[in-house]
């Protein structure tokens, strides 16, 4: 098994849940409080003496990555796990053949859980499916969805007739009632879009352009559903996902799969009300993109993202739809070293060519909200917040991009940037830069 490349301090900091955890971890990132620390190809472990009698037992699985600490913190990773990783990144944790007892016990538990999950995924425990009953359920749902689409079309026509300025003056309940009817019609994806419109209408400065764009997209989705029989299989699959018809995990696992070494390009976390979402982009050597999508509700924690710039060896199962497709891990990924952004097959030589690729995707799936984009050899401008290529073409940076950190990391030098093109702006997720000595490093934002 390939040895895991030692993380940089930037990669450790990028894994932190917040700035306060980083600050607390840096105070503990010294050999004094630590005992029984060690590392092998997959794990880093150690005990950190806190204010109590017994030291905290800390273990980190570098491949997933995953974290375990006996402290009561609800943050993942906690300050102790971050401090241990900072020690390891600085070369203060020695390699060891034998794991500490607590680290071995945790590793065994993870193997047992993974095997149990694989057994559940490979077989059905609820008996055979009645095809006739299943067909009736599907027909009943489609009838409800058809009625909900017709109701949405009438609502959108009324919205256009009275004008978007009048719609903006409506209370949030106006939008919520329309969304609730879509939920009843089993169209939760469209309901989420309507609720977001209600919030955006009242809060965005560019509300006019935003409402026009997204009301138009709702109309396009509704008309596409009406004419779904004329769409390709991939387009129909994307349309079902957009309106909120989920594909069962068992069905995904029984569909197309691929084993490969995947390059982790970047990840982004967002909060949509009570729901948290995490998107992680992977790329194979031949340029096939895969999107891992994780969600967490109230009281739940998102999975720890794969580290940008790392390589993972894994089998992916792909959801139906047009490329780039959503995917999930069939088995536990294993670390396979590291790789930068430079040389990734999806890299576009210029902003103009990258936008041409986006145009091709939009022509096939016009309701897709965001598009992956890799731009080598670009610079960043503080005013008014632009990413600029060698031809002088520029894209606006979106509000979620930390421009100050981006400028500090790049130092004014050309960089490769991976991110998402959404709503007319570019969200930077990862940059690769070269220092004065020519050494390249990947920095997640």
The pLDDT, as a whole number, for residue 340 is 85
Residue ranges of the alpha helices (H) in 123-187? 131-162, 164-168, 172-184
Residue count (the chain) = 445
Tokens for 366, please give them.
């016009």
Ramachandran angles phi, psi of 176, nearest 5°: -65, -35
**Residue 127 pLDDT exceeds 90:** no
Measuring CA to CA, which residue among 66, 13, 15, 58 is closest to residue 42? 66
Sort 384 into a burial class: Cβ within 10 Å, 0-12 / 13-18 / 19+: exposed
CA distance 63 to 61: 6
Predicted confidence at residue 129, as pLDDT, reads: 59
Nearest to 66 by CA among 302, 285, 320: 302
pLDDT at 302 over 80: no
Confidence of residue 128 (pLDDT cuts 50, 70, 90): low
- Residue among 79, 61, 59 nearest 69 (CA): 59
pTM above 0.85, yes or no: no
- Segment holding 35, helix H or strand E: strand 34-39
Cβ count within 10 A of residue 100: 20
Residue from 192, 187, 189, 162 nearest 175 by CA: 192
Q: How confident is the model at residue 183 (pLDDT cuts 50, 70, 90)?
A: very high
Q: Which of 367, 173, 341 is nearest to 266 (CA)?
A: 341
Specify the 3-state DSSP secondary structure of 153.
helix
Residues 67-76: contacts with CB under 8 Å, at least 24 apart: 67/304, 68/106, 70/102, 75/17, 75/18, 75/21, 76/17, 76/301, 76/304
Look at phi and psi of residue 211 and say left if phi exceeds 0, alpha if psi is from -120 to 50, else beta.
alpha
CB–CB of 291/327 below 8 Å?
Answer: yes
Encode pLDDT of 308-354 as tens digits.
889 999 999 999 999 999 999 998 899 898 888 988 899 999 999 99
Express each pLDDT in 224-252 by its tens digit: 999 999 999 999 999 999 999 989 888 89
Tell me which residue has tokens 């970047």. 266
Say if CB 208 and CB 197 are below 8 A apart. no
Average the pLDDT over 264-283 and give the result: 85
Give the whole-angstrom CA distance, residue 387 versus residue 431: 12
- Euclidean distance between CA atoms 209 and 191, whole angstroms: 20
Q: Which of 29-33, 163-167, 416-420, 441-445 has the highest mean pLDDT?
A: 416-420
For 146, list phi and psi in degrees, rounded to 5.
-60, -45
Tell whether the torsion through CA atoms of 230, 236, 238 and 243 is positive or negative: positive
| Of 195, 196, 190, residue with least CA distance to 147 | 190
pLDDT at 123 over 60: no
Q: How confident is the model at residue 423 (pLDDT cuts 50, 70, 90)?
A: confident
CB-count burial class (<10 Å; 0-12, 13-18, 19+) for 202:
middle
Compute how many other C-beta atoms are within 10 angstroms of the C-beta atom of residue 293: 12
Give the end-to-end CA distance of the chain in Å, rounded to a whole number.
29
CB 21 within 8 A of CB 79: yes
Contacts of 71 (CB under 8 A, 6+ apart): 50, 56, 78, 80
Alpha-carbon distance 333 to 260, whole Å? 10
């Amino acid at each position: 098994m390939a040895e895991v490349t030692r993380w940089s301090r930037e990669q450790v900091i990028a894994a932190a849940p917040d700035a306060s955890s980083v600050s607390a971890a840096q105070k503990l990132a010294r050999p004094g409080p630590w005992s029984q620390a060690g590392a092998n190809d997959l794990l880093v472990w150690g005990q950190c003496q806190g204010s109590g009698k017994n030291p905290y037992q800390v273990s980190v699985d570098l491949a997933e990555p995953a974290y375990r600490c006996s402290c009561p913190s609800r943050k993942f990773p906690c300050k102790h796990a971050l401090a241990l990783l900072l020690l390891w990144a600085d070369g203060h944790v020695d390699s060891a053949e034998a794991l500490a007892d607590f680290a071995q016990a945790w590793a065994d538990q993870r193997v047992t859980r993974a095997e149990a999950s694989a057994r559940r995924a490979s077989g059905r425990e609820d008996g055979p499916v009645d095809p006739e009953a299943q067909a009736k359920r599907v027909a009943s749902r489609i009838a409800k969805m058809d009625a909900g689409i017709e109701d949405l079309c009438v609502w959108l026509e009324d919205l256009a007739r009275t004008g978007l300025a009048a719609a903006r003056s409506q209370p949030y309940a106006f939008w919520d009632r329309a969304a609730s009817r879509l939920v009843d019609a089993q169209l939760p994806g469209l309901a989420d879009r309507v609720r977001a419109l209600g919030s955006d209408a009242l809060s965005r400065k560019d509300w006019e352009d935003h409402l026009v764009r997204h009301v138009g997209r709702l109309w396009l989705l509704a008309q596409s559903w009406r004419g779904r029989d004329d769409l390709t299989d991939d387009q129909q699959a994307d349309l079902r996902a957009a309106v909120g018809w989920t594909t069962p995990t068992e069905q995904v696992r029984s569909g197309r799969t691929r084993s490969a070494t995947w390059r982790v390009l970047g990840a982004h976390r967002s909060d949509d009300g009570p729901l948290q979402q995490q998107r992680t982009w992977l790329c194979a050597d031949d340029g096939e993109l895969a999107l891992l999508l994780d969600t967490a509700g109230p009281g739940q924690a998102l999975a720890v993202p794969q580290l940008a710039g790392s390589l993972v060896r894994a089998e992916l199962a792909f959801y139906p739809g047009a490329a780039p497709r959503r995917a999930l891990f069939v088995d536990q990924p294993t670390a396979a070293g590291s790789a930068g952004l430079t040389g990734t097959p999806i890299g576009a030589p210029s902003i103009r060519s990258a936008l041409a690729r986006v145009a091709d995707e939009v022509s096939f799936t016009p309701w897709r909200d965001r598009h992956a984009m890799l731009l080598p050899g670009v610079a960043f401008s503080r005013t008014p917040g632009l990413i600029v290529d060698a031809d002088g073409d520029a894209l606006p940076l979106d509000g979620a991009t930390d421009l100050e950190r981006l400028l500090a990391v790049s130092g004014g030098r050309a960089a490769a940037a991976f991110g998402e093109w959404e709503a007319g702006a570019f969200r930077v997720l990862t940059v690769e830069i070269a220092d004065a000595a020519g050494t390249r490093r990947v920095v997640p934002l």
